[in-house]
Chain A
Amino acid sequence: DAGVTQSPTHLIKTRGQQVTLRCSPISGHKSVSWYQQVLGQGPQFIFQYYEKEERGRGNFPDRFSARQFPNYSSELNVNALLLGDSALYLCASSLEPGQQETQYFGPGTRLLVL
């Protein structure tokens, strides 16, 4: 079975631009979470979506937004890019939020903001 897929794999943008990152969860998984991983740090939680609704949000500015589609895929949007947004953006999928939830990560999208 295919794991979590993300696109694009790499992206270069300039300050002030907007970017959209895409994620397809593991087949049968209904929940998607987004994380930001800056070089040398552990991933930081941005959002979780389940059944198209936002179920959790981390300490990120409103420039970050996301949505989930009926097929459970998801998009992460970042507006007005800053140099500090350069990072690996990870998508994780899980069956559904709950006590036994286990999150499986995709390969990530590496974003460089110049």
Chain B
Amino acid sequence: QKEVEQDPGPLSVPEGAIVSLNCTYSNSAFQYFMWYRQYSRKGPELLMYTYSSGNKEDGRFTAQVDKSSKYISLFIRDSQPSDSATYLCAMRSGGSNYKLTFGKGTLLTVNP
């Protein structure tokens, strides 16, 4: 079993739709959870950063973490064609463990 599982999609939605992206994980030591957006042939761009369980909102983006279920989500409201990209979940444990463990990424296309 991989430490982080993410449905690779692809996911195609019409402009204005609400998008839900999800990851599950098996390592209960993970405490910090991130979502990155990666455009084709570019480096990942940090979207959201969350510590432990709970919700965090930033504009059209909402990140949710449920540590009891080992499940994290990213919601995108009023999706735009410019949101078309690969979305990567990433997580790490606390303390001296610095490495980020990523999901495979979900390819999202928002159609005008």
Contacts and interface: CB of A to CB of B under 8 A. Distances in A.
Interface of A: 4, 31, 33, 35, 40-45, 48, 55-56, 58, 90, 92, 97, 99, 101-108, 110
A110 B41 contact: yes
Considering the complex of A and B, which 4 residue pairs feature the smallest CB-CB distances, nearest first?
Answer: A42-B102, A45-B99, A105-B43, A107-B43
Given A42-B104, A90-B44, A105 B36 contact: yes
A42 B88 contact: yes
Contact of A43 (B6, B44, B98): B44
A104 B37 CA distance: 12
A101 B95 CA distance: 11
Main secondary structure of the interface of B (DSSP, over half): loop
A45 B4 CA distance: 14
Nearest to A104: B46
B100 to A, nearest CB: 6
A43 B100 contact: yes
A5 B31 CA distance: 29
A42 B104 CA distance: 4
A108 B42 contact: yes
B104 A41 contact: yes
Contacts of B45: 105
B69 interface: no
Interface string B64-103: 0000000000000000000000001010001011111111
Nearest to A102: B49
